[in-house]
Structure 1
Amino acid sequence: MKIGFNTDGFGHIPTEECLDQAAELGITNVEFCMGGWSRAPHVNIAELLASSAARDQLLGNVRDRGLEISALNCSGNQLHPGETGSIDSQLAYITVELAALLGVRRVVMMSGLPAGPGDSHPNWITSSWPPEAMEILGWQWKERILPWWRAFAAAAEKEGIRICVEQHGRQAVYNSESFFRLREAVGPTVGVNFDPSHLIWMGGDPVSAIGELGSSIYHVHGKDTRIELQSRINGLLDTKPVVPVRGRFWNYVSLGHGNPVRAWLEIVRALRAVGYDDVISIENEDYSLDAKEAVSTSVSTLKFCIAESAKDTP
């Protein structure tokens, strides 16, 4: 297994310095964000699409530090009913185009979330009650989610790109069941970018989910969630901003600061058991630590877990 890094975790420093720090920490793979919900601090997708020299420079900067690109990330809401949807949809298509030009075979993104019939804002249905909820959900999948994804999956397949959908709250695909609903409709070009942190705050078990997802896991994010004591009173649904972290019911944290290192060892073992022996890309959103310290902690946790899990193999 390899340790990767979503470079937005060092979004406050220039590209070359970001790559230097990644290599210094013992990271071997990087994942660049193209836009959408990211401000894309390290790449300019328009420039990269237009210029082979710009692509060669990026690849050279990565290669010169002993790194490789594990994936491009274009997470946004391509199913938004407004202008945002059109912009993020175009971003998804051109990210696939750029991935092919760079020789990168994976694109990480989210499923998106449409509005309901006649609505102007996305609507995440999380309960079968009141009764109109199921009518909205059925309409979303039939009229918005599946038509977009069938066309997009076909375009990605044509370019030989695997799409890695991140299961995330307030998205059409947020767990294994909703993922398989999408995959069964659009085919195996679409797999999972497995991020344990989202499942944890929704009350799920990463090891069980890995067993269910199996070979459909195409890419993995390394991010942890700490369930805070306030959740015992209020539950896990929390509408407060991610900062300040104090007072929230759960928080994203560096690996081992939410679940013990032993739990992460079991996650890595479970990934190996289903045949995943590839990149775990650290996505740092720990706002209680300095970025480098948080990433360093996650790297150390992964190095230990990867080394220990390798001992299981005869």
Structure 2
Amino acid sequence: MKLGVFTVLFSDRSFEDMLDYVASKGIEAIELGTGGYPGDAHCKLDELLQDEGKREKLLQQASEAGVIISALSCHANPLHPQRPIAAAADELLVKTMQLASKLGVPVVNTFSGCPGDHEDAKYPNWPVAAWPNDFQEILKWQWEEKLIPYWKEKNSLAESLNVKIGLELHGGFSVHTPATMLRLRNACGAAIGANLDPSHMWWQGIDPVEAIKILGNEGAIHHFHAKDTIIDQQNTNRNGLTDMTDYSQMRDRSWYFRTVGFGHSQKTWADIISTLRLYDYDYVVSIEHEDGLMSVNEGFTKAVENLKPVLVKESLTEMWWT
């Protein structure tokens, strides 16, 4: 396994400065944003698609720093009911997949998207209640008319480009649990899998270790984010876990993100890493930082320090004691 970082944390640094800094911390892989919510500070999509020399330079700089590019990330909503928004996100995804193919990067990370509730809707509709039955009708329409047709097409494109799509299981989007991930994958194809982030499992009441087992059993984990979450039980009693309190109001929120080790113990993270290996994930653990109590540099550094002791670096080839 390799320790990586989602470089959107360092969007204020040049690509070269970012590489030097993360390599000095022992990082072995970088995940680059190409646009959408992550921005494109370190990966200008159109420039790189059009210029082979710039692609070669990017790969050479990464190689000289001793890192690989684990994924290109273009988190957005390609199923947004407002067509211009959806079209821009779709174009971004297609170009990102094309660039990943040209660079030899195996994974493109994004969101599943979330449609509206009818063709002329203006805003996404995220149904999370089984009753009244209106919600079931919305859910059925979204999956049959929007999600499955769209992602079937993208699965075929991914196969043709020899890349995989890692969907982040994130609240507010149609794929947000292991069950919805596998539903989409079974309907659309195996190029689609998870960019699994345990922080989004915890606040939904899902044990990340069990999520890894469910998805790993199907070979459906394509990439992995390392981010922690803390649950404030007093606020949860008041607001529930589907808490709409602004992220900046941390004292009042039911849950908020923390850097690795500051929401759950190192033993919990050791269990997560060990279960990833048990289910044959031997790729990158990519640090993501959205901790409102720590600077980027401090949060990133602490995540590195907490993950290094539990990361499995030497996988066993045989049971030598039997």
Q: How would you bin the TM-score normalised by the shorter chain?
A: over 0.9
Q: Residue type matched to 1:242 in 2?
A: Y
Deviations 1:211-244 (CA, angstroms, capped at 9, x unpaired): 1111211111011111124223322222123224
Change (3 A) 1:142 1:265: same
For 1:135-150, what aligned pairs fall within 5 Å after superposition?
Answer: 135-150=137-152
Q: Which residue of 2 aligns with 1:113?
A: 114
TM-score between both structures, scaled by the size of structure 2: 0.94
Residue 156 (structure 2) aligns with: 154
Partner of 1:26: 26
Partner-residue secondary structure (3-state), 2:309? helix
User: Which AA in structure 2 matches 1:99?
Assistant: A
1:284 alignment partner, SS class? coil
Question: Separation in 2 of the partners of 1:221 and 1:195?
Answer: 5
Change (3 A) 1:184 1:285: same
Aligned pair count reads 314
Deviation sequence 1:139-180 (CA, Å, 0-9, x none): 011111111111111011001111111111011100011111
Distance 1:241 1:102 in 2: 38
| DSSP-derived class of the 2:30 partner | strand
1:23-102 mapped onto 2 (5 Å cutoff): 23-82=23-82, 83-102=84-103
CA distance in 1 between partners of 2:96 and 2:198 (Å): 25
Q: Which residue of 2 aligns with 1:305?
A: 310
Q: Tell me, in whole angstroms, the C-alpha distance in 1 between the residues paired with 2:267 and 2:41.
A: 34
Q: Does 1:212 align with 2:217?
A: no
Q: Check 1:278–1:308 CA distance in 2 against 1; reply closer, same or farther (3 A cut).
A: closer
CA distance in 2, matches of 1:297, 1:306: 14
Structure 1, unaligned stretches of length 5 or more? Answer: none
| 2: CA distance, partners of 1:303 / 1:287 | 23
- Counterpart residue number, 1:264: 269
Q: Once the 2 structures are TM-superposed, how far is the Cα of residue 248 of structure 1 from its aligned partner? A: 1.9
Q: Which amino acid aligns with 1:261?
A: Q
Given that residues 265 and 308 in structure 1 are in contact (C-alpha distance below 8 angstroms), is that contact kept between their aligned partners in structure 2?
no
Per the TM alignment, residue 308 of structure 1 is displaced from its structure 2 partner at its CA by: 9.5
Structure 1 vs Structure 2 CA RMSD: 1.7
Aligned residue type for 2:212:
I
Q: Identify the residue that residue 204 of structure 2 maps to in structure 1.
A: 202
Q: Provide the rounded CA distance (Å) in 1 between the counterparts of 2:144 and 2:285.
A: 34
TM-fit CA distance, 1:309: 9.4
Q: Using the alignment, how far apart are the partners of 2:298 and 2:179 within structure 1?
A: 36
Return the TM-score normalized by structure 1: 0.96
Q: Which AA in structure 1 matches 2:97?
A: V
Does the CA contact (< 8 Å) of 1:196 and 1:223 recur in 2? Answer: yes
Q: C-alpha distance in 2, partners of 1:244/1:57?
A: 43
Specify the SS of the correspondent of 2:252.
coil
Write the distance in 2 (CA, Å) between the matches of 1:100 and 1:285.
29
> Counterparts of 1:232 and 1:263 in 2: how far apart (Å)?
24
Q: Do residues 236 (structure 1) and 238 (structure 2) align?
A: no
Which 5+ residue runs of structure 2 have no aligned equivalent?
A: none
Residues 90-119 of structure 1: CA deviation (Å, up to 9, x unaligned) = 111111100011111111111010111132
Letter in 1 for 2:172: R
Aligned-pair CA distance for 1:245:
2.9
Which residue does the alignment assign to 2:227? 223
Structure-1 separation of matches of 2:170 and 2:312: 29
* Cα distance between partner residues in 2 of 1:20 and 1:91: 28
1:278 is the counterpart of 2:283: yes
Provide Cα deviations, 1:4-41, integer angstroms capped at 9, x if missing partner: 11001112222211111110110000000111112222
Q: Share of identical aligned residues, percent?
A: 37
For 1:280, the aligned partner's letter is V
